[in-house]
């Protein structure tokens, strides 16, 4: 058996006025996903358990078959696993975003999608001028970085993409240990204000990295391997450290694709070709595409439609062609991890639509792949971590 799992991150949405009252999924021309929906099953799945934050960390852990209520310890540790950071048992890991705060309002959670080169230089400055003893910063990709700190933290933090266009001061870290985090953030603001990199970005009209934002804290988790749980080998294609970290923790190799950016300009065709090739050496290939989620955060409905269409054309299409050439021994599953509605520019915890086709998956309703049609169907999975078992089961 061969399995393909495609995750258009954040693709689920709500009807949008600028799309004539349709969602991006309803608007997009997606003939390959439509074939899966028409020839297989469409349903909904709740990937975010009650009382847990609706981030990709929680949702995708659930989606790939691991109960977040048992295994989740924070977003930052998953990204640290991707970088293979050596972290002591008494150390905490925090996600560190470069953000743009203007007049104390969170205007941009990505500092204008600052380049990795610029961000690495800024991280070096922070390590030299800001990090107190027991604290160190690690560079990541674009605006996404990490901070490791020793201490006893019982803090409440907020993801910056959850407070876009809102006062940042209302969501600063709170609770035991939070004063250290606030002090580091304040010191970083002063260093960033005098940075030559920001001076250049100002001259170019780009959003400045005015601040760092610390969130997603936790300690390194331990997860059983995917193969030991399901008897299936897997590989991951993604441009995001969160997914690389999850993959590493469950024993999946990551397939790196040149030009994969985690944004709207990502190399869709390269991801599709790499996914098809990876099926030669593994049972299951998982392809994650961040672009729809980024479009949702930027209230870019047309960009989200375009990203979904690119995923259908360059990733789902080639995979479906390869799988159907295998004969009958295959299954394919397409679904977002969570909704990222353009109207609110952040994640929600509602169930998402999924489409599954392949061996012994009989079509029941012949419906399109949309939020509304999936909700009207008869297949609803309330615990997202159970979907993987259904996907892999061949009865």
Token look-up 């949405």 returns 13
Alpha carbons 175 and 162: distance in angstroms, whole number: 19
Tokens of residue 226, six digits: 């995917």
CB 244 within 8 A of CB 254: yes
pLDDT computed for residue 394 by the predictor: 64
How do residues 109-147 score in pLDDT, each as one tens digit? 999 999 999 999 999 999 999 999 999 999 998 999 999
Whether residue 5 contacts residue 285, with contact meaning beta carbons closer than 8 Å, is answered with: yes
pLDDT at 202: 96
Spell out the domains of the chain, with CATH numbers in brackets.
Answer: 2-72+223-392 (3.40.720.10), 82-218 (no CATH)
Task: Round to whole Å and give the CA distance between 60 and 48.
Answer: 9
Cα 185-48-17 angle, rounded to 5 deg: 85
Q: How many helices (H) and strands (E) does the chain have?
A: 16, 13
Q: In what order do the strands lie in the sheet containing 2-8? A: 253-254, 234-237, 284-289, 2-8, 330-334, 352-358, 41-45, 380-381
* Mean pLDDT, rounded, of the chain: 95
| Percent with pLDDT over 70 in the chain | 99
Whether the pLDDT of residue 395 is over 60: the answer is: no
Task: For 271-298, write each residue's pLDDT tens digit.
Answer: 999 999 999 999 999 999 999 999 999 9
Mean pLDDT of 334-347: 96
- Do the beta carbons of residue 191 and residue 125 sit within 8 Å? yes
Give the pLDDT score at 135. Answer: 96
| 3-state percent helix, strand, coil for the chain, nearest multiple of 5 | 40, 20, 40
Angle, alpha carbons 87-93-95 (nearest 5°): 140
Q: Per-residue pLDDT averaged across 347-357, rounded?
A: 97
| pLDDT at residue 190 greater than cutoff 50 | yes
SS3 category, 172? coil
Percent of the chain, pLDDT > 90?
91
For the segment 54-112, what is each residue's pLDDT rounded down to a tens digit? Answer: 999 999 999 999 999 999 988 899 999 989 998 998 899 999 999 999 999 999 999 99
Beta bridge partners of 100: 108
Q: What is the C-alpha to C-alpha distance for residues 249 and 255, in angstroms, rounded to an integer?
A: 15
Specify the pLDDT at position 273: 98
* pLDDT of residue 313 exceeding 70: yes
- Find the mean pLDDT for residues 294-314: 97
Distance of CA 240 to the CA centre of its chain: 7
* Residue that the structure tokens 């949309």 belong to: 370
| List of residues 6+ apart from 119 with CB closer than 8 A | 98, 139, 140, 142, 143, 145, 209
Mean pLDDT of 337-348: 96
């Amino acid at each position: 058996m061969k399995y393909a799992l495609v995750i258009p991150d954040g693709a689920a949405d709500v009807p949008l006025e600028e799309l004539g009252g349709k969602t991006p999924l309803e608007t997009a021309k997606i003939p390959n996903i439509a074939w899966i929906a028409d020839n297989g099953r469409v349903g909904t799945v709740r990937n975010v358990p009650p009382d847990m934050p609706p981030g990709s960390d929680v949702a995708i852990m659930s989606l790939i078959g691991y109960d977040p209520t048992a295994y989740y310890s924070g977003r930052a540790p998953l990204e640290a696993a991707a970088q293979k950071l050596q972290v002591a048992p008494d150390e905490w890991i925090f996600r560190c975003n470069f953000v743009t705060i203007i007049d104390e309002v969170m205007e941009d959670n990505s500092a204008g999608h600052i380049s990795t080169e610029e961000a690495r230089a800024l991280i070096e400055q922070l390590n030299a001028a800001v990090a107190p003893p027991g604290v160190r910063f690690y560079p990541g990709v674009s605006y996404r970085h990490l901070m490791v700190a020793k201490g006893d933290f019982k803090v409440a933090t907020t993801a910056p993409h959850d407070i876009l266009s809102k006062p940042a001061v209302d969501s600063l870290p709170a609770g035991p240990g939070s004063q250290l985090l606030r002090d580091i953030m304040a010191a970083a603001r002063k260093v960033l204000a005098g940075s030559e990199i920001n001076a250049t970005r100002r001259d170019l009209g780009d959003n400045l990295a005015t601040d760092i934002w610390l969130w997603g804290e936790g300690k390194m988790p331990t997860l059983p391997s995917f193969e030991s749980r399901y008897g299936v080998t897997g590989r991951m294609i993604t441009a995001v450290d969160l997914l690389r970290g999850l993959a590493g923790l469950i024993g999946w190799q990551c397939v790196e694709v040149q030009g994969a950016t985690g944004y709207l300009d990502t190399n869709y065709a390269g991801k599709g070709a790499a996914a098809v090739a990876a099926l030669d050496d593994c049972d299951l290939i998982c392809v994650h595409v961040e672009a729809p989620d980024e479009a949702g955060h930027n209230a870019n409905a047309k960009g989200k439609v375009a990203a979904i269409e690119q995923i259908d054309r360059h990733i789902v299409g080639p995979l479906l062609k390869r799988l159907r050439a295998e004969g009958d021994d295959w299954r394919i599953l397409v679904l977002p991890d969570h909704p990222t509605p353009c109207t609110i520019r952040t994640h929600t915890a509602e169930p998402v639509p999924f489409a599954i086709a392949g061996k012994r998956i009989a079509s029941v309703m012949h419906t399109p792949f949309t939020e509304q049609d999936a909700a009207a169907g008869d297949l609803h999975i309330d615990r997202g971590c159970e979907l993987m078992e259904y996907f892999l089961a061949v009865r």
